[in-house]
Amino acid sequence: MIVWINGAFGSGKTTLTEELRGRWPEALLYDPEMVGFVLREIVEVPTGDFQDLRLWRRQVADLAVGLVEEYRRPVLVPMTLVHPGYVAEVFGRVRDAGIELHHFFLTVSREVLEQRIDGRTHAPGDPVREEQVRRWCKDRIAPCLAAADTLPPDTVFLDGESPPRDLAEQVLARIGAGATG
- Domains of the chain in start order, with CATH, are 2-171 (3.40.50.300)
Each residue of 57-72: pLDDT tens digit?
999 999 999 999 999 9
Helix axes 84-96, 54-71, angle to 10 degrees: 30
Measure the CA–CA gap between 77 and 28, rounded to whole angstroms. Answer: 9
> Is the confidence at residue 54, as pLDDT, over 90?
yes
Average pLDDT, rounded, for the chain: 94
Mean pLDDT of 169-175: 97
By CB atoms closer than 10 A (0-12, 13-18, 19+), residue 66 is: middle
Residue 98 DSSP label: T
pLDDT at 178: 55
Pairing of strands 28-29, 156-159: unpaired
Helix (H), strand (E) at residue 175 = helix 164-175
pLDDT at 181: 45
Each residue of 36-51: pLDDT tens digit?
999 999 999 999 899 9
Residue 151 — very low, low, confident or very high, per pLDDT cuts 50/70/90?
very high
pLDDT at 148: 87
Each residue of 92-146: pLDDT tens digit?
999 999 999 999 999 999 999 999 999 988 888 999 999 998 999 999 999 999 9
